[in-house]
Structure 1
């Protein structure tokens, strides 16, 4: 029987390869031709990465786990979008060097139209898992490869991308496809969880021990009982593909109402009977942003907007930072982040926490520079009842205890008083903290991330920072580039607009504004850029689709003008002329928008009527 099944699968695989060879020929390809080795440039690739942001963010941690299982097998892992464009790859250095010779790297397209029969392109065409071994590749240049790919479907059942493992054909392992399939299911499950953050989520299987594993079915319903999405295992157990399931309801599939399930949320697995009469065991999660927590309701906050993958928007320096961080996540190595004020140190720290094994635990941030020296010890260590005059009646848990099981982020640690540095050193050495006035120490376990815009080495040299503490907090040292040195400003602007401003509204940046942004030195880095964009967005009228110069804060435009005058490297006359042109255009546009009403135009521009009159005369 097993032999017959194996033969049937091999025959089906043969048919898929044969059909792909036929398509390759119709594309005008021939076996001995030189493959298409063109690769997208950095900015172009950044745009594509941004378009596949959710897929990339959820796939990267899974790819890291998969790579740990296949390391040192002369192979690599690739993630592509739905067109076959490679978004990210990682693997053994020796094989990556060979793979790059055939453009098997980020920015290259591996559709059948470009590369003929290959696992990525054929998976896209067939929408099923495919292994292409050796000379099954249509182009002779790729015969040294063996590739195993699986399609990654988005929560609505559309093709989102492809996960692929490629290696030297001589090192082919039959179990590779099983690992790739498991990884693909993990990515799809993560996409479902992050897409549908509200409603009811049912985890089910006919055997209760399989709940919580990759074998479980996951079905998501809204509060009206309509099915929103279901993973592959759920589709298999329910006997319907997603397109047919989406016209079903909670009642028609599970024979229960939403009120029934909300009441059972958080309880141990219970038996349900499907519409088909098959019995399954299921657990229920109820997610609602505005729900009230009770003993039977799990209230889960919406997922965070950022992650390590989302911080990579095309800048090589940030790519290197993220790559180094990923190597130490989960290994109890403290991280020290340097960089200018506003360069995104806390943003990086939060992304590290969210991608770490402690992501379910708390993230506790403390700005050591903003706390008075007299309070910082009680804030960090906590205190018991009556520890000092003015103490809360029941005492208070310090930030260190609050971070237990999660991540403690000490921002501006260079401003921590020397007296407290010795207390922190003891906490890090002994993993216990003594609240003020307490008779016993409290054990703690957390990941430590510190940040400073000061150079701690110099502080150590002049006696302002303890040398022994420096080596305790400096496990992995990273420096974030300032915004003016980054090559991905446009992608960063789009990300800030999408996550902090637009609220689902499609808003773009006018070319004149981008030109100004790219010339500016951004002394306030991300904080300044975010504030400028938020203010400009607030200035938009209901039907505005572009942020234009007229929407920018007036002090920001003045700062641009002052910078161009102060910087000897700037062409003063042309910069002044350009700004004058922009200002004149802004005034003219405001006057037109407000029907020639000078007062209304002045209010919209945030300037006085005198300024408007002066610009009009000019």
Structure 2
């Protein structure tokens, strides 16, 4: 089949075959080349409904479309955004060309899929799921031959089609760079979508050349806390030579030979250079990391409230773009209070929140005390959200995670050349970044003693002098400190300044440890709702009994990690059972039940976690000051080993069959039998 062409766009063999396939499909659909482009627009209510369904797509696409339009203004062209079915949602362009395009039904509400308009860039890009150029006579319908169209599909991080971005103009004004602009713009939209989808996850930005990190050529991978690969942009898939499905079947360890913990450790320090990681093929990639944490308030079991807040902010942002008065948007976002979402039924936490509300916006500094993982930063963020400073920055600094040699530069900033490795033009420092807002000093007890004096002076004088500078910068900040240490003991040991302690301690608030709280079921429910909102599972009575009795040394952060894994393991199931819990957690449970708070071991050998099934559930956690009972001659650990050996014997030595019957992994069987085999066996 020969394709009519107009202008000077050569039909290379691959593109010629591409266009010919589309023409064959158009003929098979019964379309006629001399047919006029008929008007069949959606009625206004249906168009509004389509726009509502694709509001998020438009929110990400609108600024990119405006930027793109600035590049092509006064070129007799227009920019079109369609949904995944080919319906035009929005269009911007030169008025004169918009009028010409309207004559061939290239306007909002019209459908430009191939079945409606034959070969055209929008419809063919949808069908082929690839960037598409259709020029002049390459259009199937002659009525569209005056057009030249460059379209690129838009995908979400899992590879699902979201829609198409298209630039259409007069074929006489065709420019070879237009397709490049459209493809880059589509990638910008995809990257915005990915960042929005996973702003609370670890994101790896990489390229084989470090200077391309931060450009549209960089690949972006999203990584779960366990190291699973959750999503990627198209540049990542292109560089790795994988499909989205192939990528999601891999882990960070199998792809790069590293772990999330190693990534976090490397990028905790300011000015950290990109990591060099190797693919299994031997190719070296330069990797930078971004993580907006503590980004998942789920670590305090309260993710649902922040999801609602994020939705309100998104609505407010959209309203501003649509011209809604700012005051109305402010009212919408303030209808939700950060503090009001924190209570989950525990009276100790309720007391803390009531104290905070009494001193809110009174200029009284807060000192939040509590063990690691109890949600100190979450409380600080809620205080900031409810305060008069909520529209200004919330800046968190973990004093324990920044090397002592860099923490001064991190807090107070520095001038260019202040020290080896300093950035060009310097850096403002966290206190200046928090100006007008709230500065959260986490693990303040780990701040080096010499730096405490400088921090005290900055707080008292309300000014900061960056390293290498003689100029002071005025700052207005509310300070919230937090620590798991006993600061009074540190004062006695002269490792913490008493004057700084009283400057920070306007009101001390102690967050209870998870083992001291009575609302573990409510926290569990919120975490599981965050992990599986569509089909939220429940804990089996057996697992709930285990959770109530466990001491939770890592507090709510540990609980969230256990449940996150269980939610994935139990996908498609209604109940989370012991089969869905990780082996190391079950081993922790085993060690914990050696204490006297647990009932005696049942006479029949059984895995240790089954001891919880018949155990009475305590109404609330009890103090650990319980007299020890005499140890049984036959320990729980030995009973479990006996059960494993008996099951293995019954299975004829088949470890896979035994692991299924016991509900534990093969590795656990190997490990327990190896560690518990008497010498000489």
Q: Name the counterpart of 2:192.
A: 190
Shift, 1:148, TM fit: 0.3
Distance in 2 separating the partners of 1:505 and 1:200:
23
Q: Is the 8 A contact 1:308 1:348 kept in 2?
A: no
Seen in structure 2, the aligned counterparts of structure 1 residues 124 and 224 have a Cα distance that, compared at 3 Å, is same
Mapping 1:318-357, distance limit 5 Å? 322=321, 344=329, 346-347=331-332
Shift, 1:237, TM fit: 1.9
Q: Is the 8 A contact 1:79 1:163 kept in 2?
A: yes
Q: Name the counterpart of 1:115.
A: 117
Q: Name the counterpart of 1:219.
A: 221
From 122, 139, 142, give the equivalent of 2:141.
139
Q: Name the counterpart of 1:165.
A: 167
Shift, 1:150, TM fit: 0.5
Seen in structure 2, the aligned counterparts of structure 1 residues 8 and 104 have a Cα distance that, compared at 3 Å, is closer
Q: Name the counterpart of 2:42.
A: 40
From 263, 267, 272, give the equivalent of 2:277.
272
Q: Is the 8 A contact 2:149 2:169 kept in 1?
A: yes
Shift, 1:101, TM fit: 2.0
Q: Is the 8 A contact 1:400 1:444 kept in 2?
A: no
Q: Name the counterpart of 1:29.
A: 31
1:248 correspondence with 2:254: no
Q: Is the 8 A contact 1:255 1:273 kept in 2?
A: yes
| Greater gyration radius | 2
Shift, 1:67, TM fit: 1.0
Shift, 1:399, TM fit: 5.5
Distance in 2 separating the partners of 1:237 and 1:265:
23
Distance in 2 separating the partners of 1:324 and 1:63:
17
Shift, 1:337, TM fit: 5.2
Q: Name the counterpart of 1:90.
A: 92
Q: Is the 8 A contact 1:400 1:408 kept in 2?
A: no
Distance in 1 separating the partners of 2:149 and 2:202:
38
1:307-331 deviations in whole A, cap 9, x for unaligned? 788887xxxxx8xx84568xxxxxx
Q: Name the counterpart of 2:311.
A: 305
Unaligned runs of 5+ in 1: 1-5, 294-300, 313-317, 326-335, 351-377, 384-395, 410-436, 446-500, 507-618
Shift, 1:197, TM fit: 3.2
Distance in 1 separating the partners of 2:84 and 2:26:
18
Mapping 1:153-552, distance limit 5 Å? 153-266=155-268, 267-286=272-291, 287=293, 288-290=295-297, 304-305=310-311, 322=321, 344=329, 346-347=331-332, 402=392, 504=533
Seen in structure 2, the aligned counterparts of structure 1 residues 227 and 140 have a Cα distance that, compared at 3 Å, is same
Give the aligned CA root-mean-square deviation in angstroms.
4.3
Q: Name the counterpart of 1:66.
A: 68
Q: Is the 8 A contact 1:39 1:107 kept in 2?
A: yes
Q: Is the 8 A contact 2:219 2:232 kept in 1?
A: yes
Distance in 1 separating the partners of 2:199 and 2:13:
42
Q: Name the counterpart of 2:550.
A: none
Distance in 2 separating the partners of 1:53 and 1:25:
34
Q: Is the 8 A contact 2:113 2:124 kept in 1?
A: yes
Unaligned runs of 5+ in 2: 1-7, 301-305, 336-360, 365-383, 394-431, 438-460, 464-470, 477-529, 536-681
Q: Name the counterpart of 2:623.
A: none
Q: Is the 8 A contact 1:45 1:107 kept in 2?
A: yes
Secondary structure of the residue that 2:79 maps to in structure 1? strand
1:75 correspondence with 2:71: no
Seen in structure 2, the aligned counterparts of structure 1 residues 19 and 349 have a Cα distance that, compared at 3 Å, is farther
Seen in structure 2, the aligned counterparts of structure 1 residues 405 and 235 have a Cα distance that, compared at 3 Å, is same
Q: Name the counterpart of 1:127.
A: 129
Distance in 1 separating the partners of 2:312 and 2:117:
34
Q: Is the 8 A contact 2:436 2:475 kept in 1?
A: no
Distance in 2 separating the partners of 1:306 and 1:134:
46
Distance in 1 separating the partners of 2:434 and 2:172:
44
Seen in structure 2, the aligned counterparts of structure 1 residues 305 and 402 have a Cα distance that, compared at 3 Å, is closer
Q: Name the counterpart of 1:390.
A: none
Distance in 2 separating the partners of 1:401 and 1:240:
42
Distance in 2 separating the partners of 1:38 and 1:226:
46
Shift, 1:87, TM fit: 1.3
Seen in structure 2, the aligned counterparts of structure 1 residues 407 and 264 have a Cα distance that, compared at 3 Å, is closer
Q: Is the 8 A contact 1:17 1:136 kept in 2?
A: yes
Distance in 2 separating the partners of 1:348 and 1:144:
48
Seen in structure 2, the aligned counterparts of structure 1 residues 322 and 220 have a Cα distance that, compared at 3 Å, is closer
Distance in 1 separating the partners of 2:103 and 2:284:
54
Distance in 1 separating the partners of 2:298 and 2:33:
60
Distance in 1 separating the partners of 2:189 and 2:76:
24
Distance in 2 separating the partners of 1:289 and 1:399:
22
1:102-157 deviations in whole A, cap 9, x for unaligned? 22122111001111111000101111111111111111111111110011111111
Higher mean alpha-carbon deviation, 247-256 vs 257-266, is at 257-266
Shift, 1:159, TM fit: 1.5
Seen in structure 2, the aligned counterparts of structure 1 residues 311 and 96 have a Cα distance that, compared at 3 Å, is farther
Secondary structure of the residue that 1:22 maps to in structure 2? helix
Shift, 1:220, TM fit: 0.8
Q: Is the 8 A contact 1:60 1:309 kept in 2?
A: no
Shift, 1:23, TM fit: 0.9
Distance in 2 separating the partners of 1:137 and 1:348:
48
Distance in 1 separating the partners of 2:146 and 2:9:
25
Distance in 1 separating the partners of 2:202 and 2:330:
36
| Aligned residue pair count | 355
Distance in 2 separating the partners of 1:9 and 1:32:
22
1:575-596 deviations in whole A, cap 9, x for unaligned? xxxxxxxxxxxxxxxxxxxxxx
Shift, 1:65, TM fit: 1.1
Distance in 2 separating the partners of 1:310 and 1:144:
41
Secondary structure of the residue that 1:304 maps to in structure 2? helix
Shift, 1:405, TM fit: 8.2
Shift, 1:40, TM fit: 1.3
Distance in 1 separating the partners of 2:321 and 2:282:
50
Higher mean alpha-carbon deviation, 258-267 vs 174-183, is at 258-267
Secondary structure of the residue that 2:297 maps to in structure 1? coil
Structure 1 stretches of 4+ with a deviation exceeding 6 A read 6-9, 307-312, 403-409, 437-445
Higher mean alpha-carbon deviation, 99-108 vs 201-210, is at 99-108
Seen in structure 2, the aligned counterparts of structure 1 residues 144 and 19 have a Cα distance that, compared at 3 Å, is same
Shift, 1:7, TM fit: 11
1:132-189 deviations in whole A, cap 9, x for unaligned? 1111111111111111001111111121111100111111111000000000111111
